């Protein structure tokens, strides 16, 4: 299953060390900013957050295609349509 995951990346640049890569990464839509001190930590954080070990995408993220819902039940496309109708007040 393909999943789109959205993040906000804040890079903090220190004029004394402009080559140093540090900052924080925030999963969206409702994630807590997770700081990283260097490139290796950023890559490790990305791998951890995008790990296929998570059975389903976090709330607000979407699956690509019409794959079955990993939790069982209706397909992702049906779930997405139902959620859109609920937000509009149709259900």
Write out pLDDT tens, residues 36-90: 999 999 999 999 988 765 545 555 555 555 444 444 444 566 666 666 666 666 5
Distances (CA, A) of 86 to 12, 41, 64, 75: 40, 39, 21, 16
Pairwise CA distance, residues 65 & 45, whole Å: 26
Hey, where are the domains in the chain? Answer: 2-65
> Tell me: the pLDDT tens digits for 15-44?
998 888 999 999 988 889 999 999 999 999
């Amino acid at each position: 299953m393909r999943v789109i995951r959205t993040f906000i990346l804040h890079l903090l640049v220190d004029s004394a060390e402009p080559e140093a890569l540090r900052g924080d990464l925030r999963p969206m839509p409702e994630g807590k900013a997770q700081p990283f001190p260097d490139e290796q930590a950023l890559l490790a954080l990305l791998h951890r957050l995008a790990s296929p070990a998570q059975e389903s995408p976090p709330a607000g993220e979407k699956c690509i295609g019409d794959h079955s819902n990993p939790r069982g039940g209706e397909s992702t496309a049906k779930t997405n349509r139902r959620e859109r109708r609920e937000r509009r007040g149709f259900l």
